[in-house]
């Protein structure tokens, strides 16, 4: 597609429920990133995929958070047993490549985010 697409744009759920957030990256981009942004703060890194594999998942806060990218394109962020502290905007980004020295291949482009509210 023309840009990074995220669904849903808004999700309200109850504490303890399971949530899935979807990201469709820019066509041809091999690298995909998930970030989380709380009110008044900058985006915080969660996980980065190069192709189908998670190259760096060091930002996932705990084992309730999991992400997959089975075919190297669309990714799903999964949150189990949601807690009120999980409320935030979840941002997805993609880049042509995740590494390399070619100009602009590492430039990230962000989607509009999925706003998660846990009641």
Which residues bind to another protein, rule: CB under 8 A? 31, 33, 35, 37, 41-45, 48, 50, 55-56, 58-59, 89, 91, 93, 95, 98-101, 104, 106-110, 112-113, 115
Q: Any idea which residue has 């992400």 for tokens?
A: 67
* Residue 61 three-state SS: coil
Name the token pair of 12: 């309200």
Nearer to another protein, 33 or 65 (CB): 33
Minimum CB–partner distance for residue 31 and another protein (Å): 6
- Between 14 and 45, CB nearer to another protein: 45
Per DSSP, 78 falls in state E
Find, among 4, 29, 53, the residue nearest to 105 by Cα: 29
């Amino acid at each position: 597609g023309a840009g990074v697409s995220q669904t849903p744009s808004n999700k309200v759920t109850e504490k303890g429920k399971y949530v899935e957030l979807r990201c469709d990256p820019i066509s041809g981009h091999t690298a995909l990133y998930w970030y989380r942004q709380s009110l008044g703060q900058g985006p915080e890194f969660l996980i980065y995929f190069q192709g189908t594999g998670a190259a760096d998942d060091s930002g996932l806060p705990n084992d309730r958070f999991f992400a997959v990218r089975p075919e190297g394109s669309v990714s799903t962020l999964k949150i189990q047993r949601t807690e009120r502290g999980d409320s935030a905007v979840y941002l997805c980004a993609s880049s042509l490549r995740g590494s390399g020295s070619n100009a602009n291949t590492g430039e990230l482009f962000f989607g509009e985010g999925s706003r998660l509210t846990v009641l």
